[in-house]
Amino acid sequence: MDNYLDNLNESQREAVVHKDGPMIIIAGAGSGKTRVLTYRIAHLMNKGVDAFNILSLTFTNKAAREMKERIGTVVGTSEAKNLWMGTFHSVFARILRSEGHHLGFPSNFTIYDSQDSVRLITSIIKEMGLDKDVYKAKQILGRISSFKNSLITVKAYYNNPELMEADKMAQRPKIGEIYQQYVDRCFKSGSMDFDDLLLRTNQLLTQFPAVLAKYQDRFKYILVDEYQDTNHSQYLIVRALADRFQNICVVGDDSQSIYAFRGANIQNILNFQKNYDNVKIFKLEQNYRSSNNIVEAANSVIEKNKTKLDKEVWTDNSDGEKIKVMRTINEIKEGRFVADSIFENKMNNQLQNSDFAILYRTNSQSRAIEDALREKNIEYVIFGGLSFYQRKEIKDTLSYLRLLINPNDEEALKRVINYPLRGIGASTVDKLSVAANHYKKSIFEIICNLNKTDINLNAGVRTKLNNFATMIQHFKIEAETKDAYEVADFVVKQTRLVKDLEKDGTPEGVSRVENIQELLNAIKNFTVEQKEKGEDASLAFFLEDAALASDLDKASKDDTPKVSLLTIHLSKGLEFPYVYIVGLEENLFPSAMSMNTRSELEEERRLFYVALTRAEKQAYLCHAQMRYRWGKLVDCEPSRFLEEIDEKYLEHLTLKVAETKQNKFINEDIFGSVPQNKIRFKKPIQRAPIKKKASPKMEFQAPKNLKKVTGKPSASANLFDSNVAVGNRVEHTKFGRGEVLSLEGTGPNQKAEIRFASVGVKKLLLQFAKLKIIS
């Protein structure tokens, strides 16, 4: 414990021991940033700073948990427990629970996720009689969100002629009114959306000096990780809190700023020195993670960006293998290449699945990869994507739970008031909603006070509404004495959510039941863990945790090692020995939507930089010549990022003949031509909850002795396909040796462009050209 400083290099140690005043640590990829942060906090505590006075803001709750554990090993677990650590959202949600009353919010306020927000905006647009094609709910929410991130309240909006003019020009002059409605409705429902957690905190700190003073006093030392991805709202919160003691330490890497699309402002990190006085700058430039080839290759790419801070990332590590580049015909072959390669690497190098990660730009790319991994019987986990918590049955179940914590939660109420069906239809809900707006009460309050309103409902409906309200209140009472799991279990049984689904008997129904079961398990785990730690095991706290946990947080640490599949965004902060980056094609990565401005493109490039620097030993870059996108087959150009890497770090791969043949047999002859089986692979009955895994059982169900079937196999698999692949060295009877540059067409029409040493580039019909593949 005493010599923890010995584990640090010179610059790391300086950053750890420098105690007071504003400081910025510019930390290159893999430079031991987390280590510095944890040791720094531990060091502060060793120097007598009370854990209660340290606030540390991280990007995910998982990161916070892990850091806490590591600090605990240095200073003792019980002391480390007292640290304030977590994401901006979760830390300030907690503060708002106790201080929100200043702003008129109850302590049990609900946190709306984006789905709730979109639904609320949709109904507002409808109620206002606006054209939903002009006022697209999602876009409106995006606009409102960007207002909130910049601290533009409704009032500020109306005081800003430029914003209003812009909306008018865009034919959407009513945005201000929608915004106003949205804010009012959230308030009435006792709800905050994600942006509110930051905006309301800002309001709290600016409007209530006593509250500000209290937290300024409490947080004598503030540390912010991933500072490059903070938005304006977050910047202001940090600034306000640090204003008194000025002990603010921010850590980040401008080269890894990838969240501009949700309001992150790279200027926060670029201007830190201007925003605070007497800033001390520390730079961590030695990379301990990756091979020299990877570090240098990544540097050669990021150099192309104009906006960046001055730093030089280097490593002592050996060169390692070159980065492998693989071009395939389509996304199916891309998936198979990755699966085969992982298989081979595992065999040759004694590795396990958890040594591999597959990164992609968009979630939709995971499908082809999943198929290939399943075919090869390789277990995998997917992070992100359609989150477990977004599924209908889960949201429905959670809505009941939310409602008993906060009956005014309008979005939750609307979801379940007639689910399972209890004869309270749309027209009734509309009437209630109108009354609620009129009396400025929540729908639930209206239901509880039907007699005091002039609402026109028949006796039958009134009874049903009363029963509903009674049920919820009954749940509420149960919740007072039970832990989160007991309540949830009780509610699921009472509402017959599961029983109804079980009756329906369809595969979807079965999967939904399983998902609800999985949710109950998760709540059970949560309850047990919290109790073990001696922490809050209430339902309210579970709901908050569920609302603010990132997808990474939700992944269960478990048993068998698995290959990780995730978007590059989610991969920030992680590292893997072997990394496959797939879909390196123009319009996909860089994304077609991010090529309009230099700054957007630079963000894409930073994203690529992040992807590449996740790799420790080996990186593979894959791209396909064609791929299905939104149902259409699209030709794909290789990504510009491939060309931006200095060629000397790259090696272009070719498929080996034997491999190709073997794959054809396993993948196409057996499975490809049996549609029923194919369907099972494509769409696992259950896109598994929380943790996803390849299910080995499904793997070899197709009879092994299935005869070779003629007829058209799946989309791209073609019996005529030649074994020739791009990058192959081939020998032609007339032209001699050459290299395959590209392939086009399929089946008998497949052509190859080949560069021969003797005659230059030739295009040949493979059907006729007798080629011998050399390598």
Partner DNA sequence: AGATCTAGCATTTTT
Partner DNA sequence: TGCTAGATCT
- Interface contacts to DNA, rule CB under 7 A: 60, 87-90, 113-114, 122, 133, 136, 138, 194-195, 258, 261-262, 361-364, 384, 391-392, 418, 421-428, 461, 548, 550-552, 567, 569-570, 591-594, 628-631, 682-683
C-beta of 196 vs 739, nearer to DNA:
196
Q: How far is the CB of 572 from DNA (least distance, A)?
A: 9
Catalytic residue status for 33: yes
- Minimum CB–partner distance for residue 624 and DNA (Å): 14
Nearest to 513 by CA among 418, 407, 394: 394
Closest to DNA by CB, 48 vs 505, is: 505
392: tokens are 């209908």
User: What interhelical angle do 114-127 and 175-188 show, nearest 10?
Assistant: 120
Q: Which contiguous run of DSSP H or E holds residue 512?
A: helix 507-533
Q: With contact defined as beta carbons under 8 Å apart, do 281 and 24 qualify? A: yes
Q: How far apart are CA 309 and CA 228, in angstroms?
A: 11
For the beta carbon of residue 773, count every other beta carbon within 10 angstroms: 18
Residues with Cβ within 8 Å of residue 367, at least 6 apart in sequence: 682
User: Is 436 known as a binding-site position?
Assistant: no
Reading the block at residue 561, the tokens are: 């090692």
The single residue of 33, 376, 627, 692 carrying the catalytic annotation is 33
Q: Which of 199, 162, 155 is nearest to 179 (CA)?
A: 155
**Residue 369 CB, nearest distance to DNA (Å)?**
14
How far apart are alpha carbons 360 and 566 in whole angstroms? 7
Tokens of 354: 């958890």
d(Cα 718, Cα 206) in Å, to the nearest integer? Answer: 66
3-state secondary structure 545-611: HHHHCCHHHHCCCCCCCCEEEEEHHHHCCCCEEEEEECCCECEECCEHHHCCCHHHHHHHHHHHHHH
Rg, the chain, Cα only:
29
Give the tokens for residue 364: 């939709």
Nearer to DNA, 239 or 629 (CB): 629
Burial of residue 194, with CB atoms counted within 10 A of its CB: 0-12 exposed, 13-18 middle, 19 or more buried: buried
Rounded to a whole number of angstroms, the minimum distance from the CB of residue 547 to DNA is 8
Q: Which residue is catalytic, options 34, 153, 246, 746?
A: 34
CB of 705 to DNA, least distance (A): 29
Least Å from the CB of residue 649 to DNA: 26
435 is in an annotated binding site: no
Nearer to DNA, 299 or 428 (CB): 428
Residue 29 assigned to a binding site: yes
Confirm whether 374 is a catalytic residue. Answer: no
Distance CA 503, CA 510 (A): 9
328 is catalytic: no
Cβ distance to DNA smaller for residue 35 or 391: 391
Q: Which of 316, 325, 320, 324 is nearest to 291 (CA)?
A: 320
DSSP, collapsed to helix, strand or coil, labels residue 765 as strand
**Taking Cα atoms as reference points, which of 362, 713, 355, 737 lies closest to residue 566?**
362
Among residues 99, 167, 193, 226, which one is catalytic?
A: 226
CA nearest to 204, candidates 270, 115, 109: 109
Q: Which member of 172, 415, 614, 692 is catalytic?
A: 614
Q: Which is nearer to DNA, 114 or 723 (CB)?
A: 114
Nearest to 252 by CA among 567, 56, 29: 29
Spatial distance between the Cα atoms of 351 and 359, rounded to a whole number of angstroms:
19
Q: How far is the CB of 541 from DNA (least distance, A)?
A: 16
Token look-up 């399983």 returns: 514
Distance between terminal CA atoms of the chain?
55
Asked if residue 592 lies in contact with residue 388, where contact means CB atoms within 8 angstroms, the answer is: no
Q: CB of 129: closest distance to DNA in angstroms?
A: 12
Q: Are 12 and 35 in contact (CB under 8 A)?
A: yes
| Type of residue at 266 | I
40 is catalytic: no
555 known ligand binder: no
Contacts of 530 (CB under 8 A, 6+ apart): 536, 537, 541
Complex with DNA: residue 44 or 237, whichever CB lies closer: 237
- Give the nearest distance from C-beta 298 to DNA in angstroms: 19
Residue 737 CB, shortest distance to DNA, in Å, is: 40
Nearer of residues 223 and 323 to DNA, judged by Cβ? 223
> Counting Cβ atoms within 10 Å, is residue 147 exposed (0-12), middle (13-18) or buried (19+)?
buried
- Which of 225, 340, 409, 445 is catalytic? The answer is 225
35 neighbors 8 (Cβ within 8 angstroms):
yes
Query: Does the annotation flag 30 for ligand binding?
Result: yes
Asked whether residue 736 is marked as a ligand-binding residue, the answer is no
Q: Which of 256, 453, 567, 613 is catalytic?
A: 256
Give 279 or 429: the residue with its C-beta nearer to DNA: 429
27 is in an annotated binding site: yes
Any residues with CB less than 8 A from the CB of 474 and at least 6 apart, and which? none
260 versus 338: smaller Cβ distance to DNA: 260
User: Minimal CA–CA distance to 636: which of 644, 625, 647?
Assistant: 625
Closer Cβ to DNA, 15 or 152, answer by number: 152
User: C-beta of 61: minimal distance to DNA in Å?
Assistant: 7
| 28 annotated as ligand-binding | yes
**The two three-digit tokens of residue 679, written as one number:** 């369907």
CA distances from 286 to 10, 114, 609 (A): 11, 39, 16
Binding residue numbers = 27-34
Binding residue numbers for ATP = 27-34
> Looking at the annotation, which residues are catalytic?
33-34, 225-226, 256, 614
